[in-house]
Structure 1
Amino acid sequence: MPDGREVDQAALLDVAKDEDRARSLLRALRTLGTGPDPKLREMARGVLRGDLTAEQAFTDPEYTAALFSGADKVRRAGERRSDAEAREAREAGERFGEWQQARRTEEEREDQGTAQPDTAPGTDPGQQPAGPWRHSGPGGVGGPGALGGPRPAGPFGHR
């Protein structure tokens, strides 16, 4: 915000009901506050400044109409997807779910002190495991900085 004031996520708990949703709502408001729709920018900036409560914003007819208009655009774009695009999105979602489960299992093992290496037998232990979005087929993309590619180690080593 121009003057630097911004509400914290605790101010959003009346609408969000829990900390995770409040954090998500705060991120969404920040995104809307810089987005292309002037009505949604006005609403988001008002809530972020504290000039407007989230409840007031979400029950105001003008702001509600702007929110639903944006949601309708997203719905229509989804309907225009080809069958191949829809299948790719479903498969990516499935891979992501499998990856999340593998990470949870790995973290549970680490918490119990029985961590096993991420590599399968016969693979290079120096190679990073593929993430859920990495395309590993011929001509696939990846590499440092690429989506799903290996990341350089941070100050605390590889995760």
Structure 2
Amino acid sequence: MTADREIQDEELMGIAQDPEQALRLRRSLRTIAGATSLDPALRDMARSVLSGDVDVKDAFQDPRYTEAVYQRLHEMRRAAEDQTYAERQQSKGQFGEWDARQQADLDRERAERDAPVHGSGGGGGRSARR
């Protein structure tokens, strides 16, 4: 199923403590929804929350989803424990590059979110988003 709409950050404020946390949560849900390497239950949960079919609080309390989250965390911990020193160093470097890309994306999304909306009073104008 494809969602016709995606929830907005404001709809995550029931669980997020501030707009920044809501933005990061929505981005994380998008990542999970599109990650083919993850458990289908996790992807389903993320898609359901993003589409607004399931409230985020309900999703976090659903045993199917929490079990999938715990299983994934266990797999990640086990993989980290099995890494050699060289592999850990390589992973740190890759994470640094990934983190820099994520930060740039977050900065762009914040700028779009916080940009003033021009012409909000009348019709016919171009959208502020590209």
TM over 0.5, yes or no?
yes
* Cα offset, 1:2, TM superposition: 2.0
* Cα offset, 1:4, TM superposition: 2.4
Partner of 1:54: 56
Note the residue ranges of structure 2 that are not aligned, 5 or more in a row.
98-130
TM-score between the two structures when normalised by the length of structure 2: 0.63
Note the residue ranges of structure 1 that are not aligned, 5 or more in a row.
97-159
Partner of 2:12: 12
Q: Distance in 2 between matches of 1:32 and 1:87?
A: 25
Distance 1:73 1:8, change over 3 A: same
Partner of 1:80: 82
2:21 pairs with 1:21: yes
Structure in which a larger fraction of residues adopt helix: 2
TM-score between the two structures when normalised by the length of structure 1: 0.52
Partner of 1:38: 40
Percent identical: 38
* Cα offset, 1:83, TM superposition: 1.8
> Which fold has the larger relative contact order, with Cα–Cα distance below 8 Å and residues 6 or more apart in sequence?
2
Across the aligned residues of Structure 1 and Structure 2, the Cα RMSD in angstroms comes to 2.4
* Cα offset, 1:84, TM superposition: 2.5
Distance 1:54 1:3, change over 3 A: closer
Q: How do 1:8-157 and structure 2 match up within 5 A?
A: 8-36=8-36, 37-87=39-89, 92=93
